[in-house]
Each structure stands twice: as structure tokens, then as C-alpha cells.
Amino acid sequence: MNYKSFNVKCQMKNLLVLTVVLFIILISNSCKAQDDVAVETGIGLVKEHYRGLHGYIGYSAERPAEQLDYSAGMGFYSAVWPLIDKPFAHFQIGLAGAWVTPNNSDNKDKPLAPVGTYARDNWPERGPTYESVFQTLEGGLGYWARNRFRYGPPKFSMNATPQCYDYEIGSPGWSFFYSSEALPDDRLGIAQLSNRLLIPPDALPFEGNPNGKFMGYTYMALPFTEPTTGDPPTGDQSWTCFLSTANFKGPMAYYIPETWSKIGKLFNYPFIYGRGLDARPGNMGGGAMEINTVPCFESQDENGVTYSKIPQLQFPVDKQGRTLLVQDVIYYSKAALYDSFKAWRDGGPVCLGKFDEKGAWKSKLATRTPGFNQAGKKITGVEKVVDTKVFSDNVWGLEWLDGTSSKFGHFPVYFRHEKDYLVAIPESEVPKSTNLLEKEFKLAGPGDPFTSPDKGAWANPGPVAGPYKVKLTDGSIVTYYWYRFVDQPSFQQYNFPKAKKEKLQAFVEKIHSEWPIDRDYMAPPSMGELVTLDPALLVNPPKGMEVGYVPIVTHQQAALEY
């Protein structure tokens, strides 16, 4: 090859390389320009918040004309199932539950919440009486955003707000998941009653993956102690939580009456003496699923239209296409258990604990189409998929209108944003350009351990045996000790006279002797199967402590930390 020919070929090669480089730069700039437009207009840019769904799926319950006579208790059977198929983070929805407040209907205008409490200082719209936020007894089945140990299915927890939402009590040692540290000694309020069932601070898990089995629970006002006229005066009502499951039946714990009465003394507000749940009949209406915190993705398509996505909510469907959520809603008078319980306490015949039908009033239920919103904007179209329904007088649930034939009914996942509202849409109507279809929600990891102090009420007088440890189905390890009943931490803030303590201790020993965990206290459910609690929650007292001693959880942490 001569030099001239070689030079020409080199020039041609350089020109070709230059052309390729220029082409690559042009394509790169074009892609960057498109990216800049996407960022500028939000196309496919997914944002996340935690107000994806809010609302109540509820029912109302008929009450007798003499409803104050049936205000000593309320119970029902609620379905248990995995509402979500994965343990998502930042997720809080309560399954069907109910609320109890003290009946102060005679007070029309005077505040029950003292100045200085959270409700009084922050919720003027609840005035003038603040009756709905004075004291509440709630809790139940559900998922809570602050759960430390999520495992898929829901859990069960007691919960109460004894002081105008200044704090909450969810177990014998802790608040309602608000802190990993135990409550201060003077805010403990639940007395562990069962000597067979552990009550972990992160709530009670279940065995397996229950799909629509039922858990029964009743809050019943019982007189463990006599009323006092001291400072503050305190009634005799110990609101006691009874469970009905396949492997545990009976009372698990109760709220000490002073839990409700001490607010009057603390705030030097005598008007509310005798107005708490220690003394007043319970205000009990219907119930609901409370939808609180749900993660949500939002994104725009190429036309600037916003779409959003929430986790898939699933509901059990039976062979008749029904989702049965609640059955056997019953209100109780003192004739159901209070009267025979008090007589037994005072030396009368043994009370077996079964709720007497002569003091039970089975309610008729009613319902209406629920409303939902996302970040404050109304959602429409859900009613075309699912609506609430009363299937018989005392069975309430959901009716699926989209012809579902699977074992689960599915709540809408995707929504299109209009000007002032959102429309529920199927997945097929979500543009791929939004990047929502493949976007996955974050899963919850184990949280900080629940801890208790080794001093104060927990150490003086202190336990008599332990520590013991068990591993639960939620992946946590629970540590517990055995305490003499009246020596458990919740009682130590009160200077009960010795005679009162010994009488209470002797009575609880009778309960432990006479009330087994395999007897029906609530009437069995009208239909369906009972759910099974995590068997690891069931324990046996050490030798010599078969009656009069209770297992108190002192610590709960992820099993991986051991």
C-alpha cells in the first residue's frame, strides 16, 4: 500500500470515528433532555407518604330502652386474618373492634378533661364536655404502626386512655407501643390476672395464618375490691378482659379501678370524682375497623395525571361469597356476672365465671356504606367493589360486588386523582409511565427491645421466680418472672391497707383454683371456628405457685439479638 492511499484511508477512518462520537453525544443529550423533562414534569417520579387510606368500616348496634341496665359489659366475636400478605412498615389498621367510655350523659356543659391534659389543651372541638376523649377502653385486634415485631397476621392488645390522652396503657407494663421503655410506676394500670397466659408488650400473636377464624373478647366490669371514699374516691369496677379462643378461655387481665379515679386528685379537679370508668356505667355503641396509617406511592403519567397505589388489603371470603367480620354482639348487665362474682368474693357460693344469659342482651346490627379518603381527598368507586352488609341480625361483614370467587376479596389498590377527589381503578388502567406497577412497599424490620427497670415497682417487693424465656411466632424472645399477684408492679403505686391486699390475694387464689382455661365463659360463637393463640404464650406455674402467682413479662426483643 502506498502512502497516499494509506493517508486517505486514515482520514476516512477518522471521519467515521468522529461521526460515531457525534452521534453518541447527540443521543446522550437527547436522553438527558428527556430525563430533564421527566424530572421537571414528574413523569414516573414516585413519591411516598403514609396517608394512603383513612376511614371506618363499621356497624351500629341496637341498644335496649333500659340501656344503662346493660352497661356492665360488652363482647363479640371478631374475625382474625392476614389483612396484608407481608409485614409492611408504617401500616396501622385495626380489625373490627369497639370502644367503651364512661357514661356522663347527665353532664351537658362542664369539661371532664382538666386544663393541662392533652385533650383539653389541643382538641377544643371535643368540647364543651370532652366526654368522648375523657377516658376510653379500646384496643382489640389489628396492626399498629409502632409494633416492634411484625410477622404477617394481626395481634391482639388491650388498650386504654385513662387521662384524656396524656398517655395510654396497653399491657401490664407498657403503653400502647409508644415507647420501648416501661411506663413510669405511677402510670401502670393493668393487673395481670391469668396465671397461664403471657401478655407481651408487643401484643398477642396467633398460631399459623388464620383466615377468618374468630376470636371472642368481652370487657366486663367486676368488683375485685370494694369502693372507697378516700382521696380520691374510687368505685369498684375493674374492667376485665375475657378471651375466647381455641386454646385459652377466660380472663387475662383487668384495669385497676384507681387507674381511672386518680386523674381527679392529680389535677385537683373534684368535679370528675366518680365520673370515670371505675364508677360509671359503660357507654358502648357499635364497632368498626379503624383505618389509620397506610403507606402510599404517588406518580404522574406523561399527561400530568396523578395516580396512587396502596398495599393490597385482602379479606377472607366464605363459600357463599361473604366476608364475616363480627358476630354475636352482646351487652351485659350486672346480672351476667357482677352479682354472682361479688357474692362469691364476700363468702357466698362459688361463681364459675360463665356469663349468665339472664344478664345478656343480644343486639341487632345495622350498617351503611363506608366513606374513605386519601390525604384528605374523598375516594369514590370503592362502593362498586365492596360494601358492608348485615347478613343476619347479629352477623356483620362485607359483600363483594365484583363477583370475586377466590378465598380473598381484594380492596382497590390503585387510584386516579381528579380535581377534588380520587377514583378507584383497576391495575389495567394505570399507565406504565407512572412506574407504580412494579413499585414495592418497604417491609418492617424488628424494632427496639421492650425493657423494664430493675428498681422501683418492678423490684420491690419483686418477683419470686425467674427469669424464664420463650420464643414467639412473631420472631421475638419474651422474658418473664413470676410475681405474687398483689406484688406485681401495677399495684405498688397504691398504699393499699394490708387487710385489703390479703383479701384480694385470697380471692384471686380462688379464681385460679376454680376457673380453668378450657371452660366457656363467653357463649361459643354462633358459627365458624375459634382462632388459636400462639401456644408459646401459654405457660404453667412453677411447683408450689399453682395459685396466687402470675407471669409478668419484663423484656421482649428480636430473637436474632440472642
pLDDT digits (tens, 9 = 90+) for 59-78: 999 988 776 789 999 999 99
Identify the CA nearest to 272 among candidates 112, 104, 105.
112
pLDDT digits (tens, 9 = 90+) for 500-518: 999 999 999 999 999 999 9
Q: Does residue 75 sit in the same domain as residue 37?
A: no
pLDDT digits (tens, 9 = 90+) for 19-45: 333 333 333 443 333 333 333 447 999
Contact 232, 162 (CB under 8 A): no
224 secondary structure, DSSP code: S
Asked if omega into 461 is within 30° of 0 (cis), the reply is yes
Contact 182, 197 (CB under 8 A): no
Instruction: Please state, rounded to an integer, the average pLDDT across all residues of the chain.
Output: 91
CA diameter of the chain? 125
Q: Does residue 7 sit in the same domain as residue 111?
A: no
The mean-pLDDT minimum among 57-66, 239-248, 348-357, 451-460 falls in 57-66
* Amino acid 560: pLDDT: 77
Does residue 294 have a pLDDT over 70?
yes
* Amino acid 213: pLDDT: 97
Determine how many CB atoms are found less than 10 A away from the CB of residue 373.
15
* Amino acid 555: pLDDT: 98
Determine how many CB atoms are found less than 10 A away from the CB of residue 248.
20
What is the mean predicted confidence (pLDDT) over 119-145?
96
Residue 72 lies in a domain: yes
Q: Does residue 8 sit in the same domain as residue 105?
A: no
What does R_g of the chain's alpha carbons equal in angstroms?
29
Residue 345 lies in a domain: yes
| Selected residue with higher pLDDT from 94 and 12 | 94
Residue 484 lies in a domain: no
- 405 pLDDT band, cuts 50/70/90, is low
- 495 pLDDT band, cuts 50/70/90, is very high
538 CB-contact burial (10 Å; exposed 0-12 / middle 13-18 / buried 19+): middle
The rounded percent of the chain whose pLDDT value lies above 90 is 86
Residue 350 lies in a domain: yes
* Amino acid 393: pLDDT: 79
Q: Does residue 21 sit in the same domain as residue 103?
A: no
Distance CA 429, CA 400 (A): 21
- One-character DSSP codes across 162-207: -STTS--B-SSS--SSS-SBPPPGGG--EEE--SSB---TT-B-BS
Identify the CA nearest to 136 among candidates 124, 118, 154.
118
Q: Does residue 218 sit in the same domain as residue 346?
A: yes
Residue 31 lies in a domain: yes
Cα angle value 93/95/101 (rounded, 5°): 95
* Amino acid 557: pLDDT: 97
As for how many domains the chain has, the answer is 2
Q: Does residue 355 sit in the same domain as residue 235?
A: yes
Q: Does residue 95 sit in the same domain as residue 198?
A: yes
Distance CA 153, CA 196 (A): 23
Does residue 1 have a pLDDT over 80?
no
Residue 142 lies in a domain: yes
Distance CA 234, CA 209 (A): 43
Q: Does residue 19 sit in the same domain as residue 116?
A: no
What is the mean predicted confidence (pLDDT) over 195-222?
97
Cα angle value 558/559/562 (rounded, 5°): 110
The mean-pLDDT minimum among 65-69, 137-141, 242-246, 514-518 falls in 65-69
Cα angle value 548/554/557 (rounded, 5°): 140
Residue 105 lies in a domain: yes
Residue 183 lies in a domain: yes
Cα-Cα-Cα-Cα torsion 83, 553, 497, 235, nearest 10 degrees, comes to: 0
Q: Does residue 126 sit in the same domain as residue 221?
A: yes
* Amino acid 67: pLDDT: 66
Contact 441, 547 (CB under 8 A): no
Q: Does residue 94 sit in the same domain as residue 32?
A: no
Q: Does residue 100 sit in the same domain as residue 137?
A: yes
| Selected residue with higher pLDDT from 157 and 18 | 157
What is the mean predicted confidence (pLDDT) over 47-56?
97
Q: Residue 107 is part of which domain span?
A: 66-298+328-373
Identify the CA nearest to 532 among candidates 156, 253, 150.
156
Distance, CA of 142 to chain centre: 4
Cα angle value 452/540/500 (rounded, 5°): 65
What is the mean predicted confidence (pLDDT) over 422-446?
97
* Amino acid 65: pLDDT: 76
Determine how many CB atoms are found less than 10 A away from the CB of residue 24.
10
Burial 143-182 (b: 16+ CB within 10 A, else e): bbbebbbbbbbbbbbbbbbbbbbbbbbbbbbbbbbeebeb
End-to-end CA distance of the chain: 78
Q: Does residue 36 sit in the same domain as residue 91?
A: no
* Amino acid 3: pLDDT: 33
- One-character DSSP codes across 292-308: EEB-EEEEE-TTS-EEE
Distance CA 168, CA 175 (A): 5
Does residue 403 have a pLDDT over 90?
no
* Amino acid 561: pLDDT: 54
Cα angle value 18/19/20 (rounded, 5°): 90
Does residue 14 have a pLDDT over 50?
no
